[in-house]
Chain A
Amino acid sequence: MSVLVVMEQSRLAWHRMSWEALAAGQQMGPALGIPVAAAVLGHGAAALAGELGGKKLDKVYHVEHELLDHYTADAYTVALAELVDMAKPSMVLFPHTYRVRDFAPRLATRLGGLLVSDVLRIEVKDGAAVAVRQMFQGKLNADYRAAGGGTQYISIQAGAYRAEHVEAGSAEVEVLTPALEAAQIRIKVEEPFRESARAVDLTAADLIVSAGRGIKEQENLSLIQELAAAMGAEVAASRPICDNGWLPMDRQVGSSGQTVAPKVYFAVGISGAIQHLVGMKGSKCVVAINKDPNAPIFEVADYGIVGDLFEVVPALIEEIKKAKG
């Protein structure tokens, strides 16, 4: 019985969400009364394993293999299946990163388990863990409990736990070399790349007016552009607007777009799905305009207008012009 936190690194640099998952693990151990271990996979990752050895953990696993030098789902599944078989944790925690999305469902299935993905928090009720996750793009929450007795697999949503809560301490590092062979890896990966340089750098913008699907038609974007012009702001958007080709991809805010932190971020007709929120949560002030009072965007908004954007935005443009004099 233990909690095992699977950390994520690329090119020997930590994924920041790993620390959030580790913080979750360090809370779950005492809550369930069981030890906590963490694992790092890679090639030449001894320094990272050493860093984990300086955290409050009962054990650190350093899974070392040259075939883990870069990520493939096949290699990670084989290596982690071996680790879980050996360490026999009762709960395995992951950060809900794009990589974890890629391999963790496969790993859990191979080991006869099932991953509860993108979890907001884990509560302990009657000695058992209840994982809380969102549904319907954040409109509803749902509680999940393990039905059988096997290992629980849980991935932790970005920002759900705080990296600064990770406690220091010391732990022994155990090196494990999994029985991994090149023939088990069916996928050949190429070097990661960025699309041509971004034409706009939203990260430097002080003011951003961002449009979501509530805008309905491409033509209506002119309303957003007018508001932005009145404010002296940059125009941005949620993903569906860029998917439709209504605005170029480099105006997209979110986990697959830019991460912005302006003085004011206007979310107009944006519901506030987590993949959007991670890209704008750091804004100093968030103003949300949405007709649905239950839209998750109001969770992060400082000021909210519940109403029809087609009435509110024209009125706002006028008032801003007036206020500017």
Chain B
Amino acid sequence: MKILVAIKQVPSRDSQLKVSSSGRWMEDADLSAEINEPDAYALEEALQLKEKHGGEVVALCAGPARASQTIREALAKGADRAVHVEEEDLGRFDLLGVAQLLAKAAAEVKPDLILTGLQSDDLGYGQTGVILAELLGLPHSTIIMQVEKTEAGIRVKRELEDGWFQHMTMPLPAVLTIQSGINKLRYATLMGIKKAKTKEVKQLSADGLGVTAAPKVSLERVYMPQRAKQTTLLPGTAKEQAAKLAEILKFEVRVL
């Protein structure tokens, strides 16, 4: 099975975000970056499927040159090769534009299965995989917690709300969006890191893929939200804060 995994590089989770002077994005030049969390699970799922059924795992990433760090990490964990749609300013495309870049690049790879994360930690659209499926004319399912290969295709377990699940089957090729927690993540080995240096990373560009930015939706402004609720913040040292909270719990909330 040839499996394509879409991985995105996002600012690290504990980044201190500052809106840039344009008011449309973050000052991200000096933020550290990491792989989008659900994408790490998607990659792991692809590696496990390959270990069971053979085939190849190809990582696909659209992003600036610095995203090559994340691509290298995927190769070090065991992806066989990668495709990097290098684009310094992905922000000039809307979500559909990015999905078009990924779809064009995916079409060249001709995978049997495409895995994406269910949602990106930065933009959080939760849509790219589904749009990709439509652009490629493939069946899809989302929020996947288990993937099994069958004679005719795949059988997956989809997470529903409130602790419910559902199994479904579909033919291949197909697109799945993977939920965090589907498996246990591996670490890259030293050997893996060494090998990664020799693996192929194919560079593509928006121009080369014939995708031009024509946003249907424009992101006008990014800003810190106004907090509506009046939280009583407890001042002082940790000890003072703790003492005050214990007092509140005892005399106001009355649970002690």
A contact residues around B125 at 8 Å (CB) = 117-118
Q: Is B219 an interface residue (CB 8 A)?
A: yes
> Which of B126, B225, B245 contacts A316, CB < 8 Å?
B245
> Which of A135, A195, A322 contacts B246, CB < 8 Å?
A322
Q: List 13 contacting pairs A-B, 8 Å CB cutoff, sorted by A.
A: A73-B139, A73-B141, A77-B134, A140-B26, A143-B219, A144-B218, A147-B216, A187-B139, A231-B256, A240-B37, A285-B253, A301-B229, A303-B231
Q: Is B124 an interface residue (CB 8 A)?
A: yes
A301 adjacent to B231 (CB under 8 Å): yes
Q: Is A170 an interface residue (CB 8 A)?
A: no
With A140-B223, A147-B216 known to touch, is A110 a contact of B134 (CB < 8 Å)? yes
Q: Give the interface size bracket for A toward B.
A: 35 or more
B224 adjacent to A142 (CB under 8 Å): no
A307 adjacent to B231 (CB under 8 Å): no
B219 nearest CB across to chain A (Å): 6
- SS class, residues of chain A in contact with chain B: mixed
A contact residues around B223 at 8 Å (CB) = 140-142
With A264-B249, A298-B227 known to touch, is A142 a contact of B232 (CB < 8 Å)? no
CA of A189 to CA of B167, assembled, Å: 6
A308 nearest CB across to chain B (Å): 7
Candidate in A110, A135, A315 with the most chain B CB atoms within 10 angstroms: A135
A contact residues around B170 at 8 Å (CB) = 186-188
Complex interface bits, B170-184 against A, C-beta within 8 A gives 1, otherwise 0? 110000000111001
B contact residues around A110 at 8 Å (CB) = 134
A contact residues around B247 at 8 Å (CB) = 323
A106 adjacent to B131 (CB under 8 Å): yes
B14 nearest CB across to chain A (Å): 8
> Which of A109, A187, A292, A323 contacts B141, CB < 8 Å?
A187
B contact residues around A307 at 8 Å (CB) = 238, 241
> Which of B131, B179, B249 contacts A323, CB < 8 Å?
B249
B121 adjacent to A189 (CB under 8 Å): no
Number of A-B residue pairs, CB cutoff 8 Å, is 231
Q: Which of these binds chain A: B65-73, B104-112, B155-163, B191-199?
A: B155-163
B234 adjacent to A304 (CB under 8 Å): yes
Closest-by-CB residue of A relative to B118 is: A101
Q: Which residues 137-176 of B have a CB within 8 angstroms of A? A: 139-143, 159-171
B212 nearest CB across to chain A (Å): 14
B contact residues around A51 at 8 Å (CB) = none
A304 adjacent to B134 (CB under 8 Å): no
B161 adjacent to A73 (CB under 8 Å): no
A contact residues around B11 at 8 Å (CB) = 136
B contact residues around A287 at 8 Å (CB) = 245
CA of A142 to CA of B243, assembled, Å: 38
A231 adjacent to B126 (CB under 8 Å): no
Q: Is B29 an interface residue (CB 8 A)?
A: no
A145 adjacent to B222 (CB under 8 Å): no
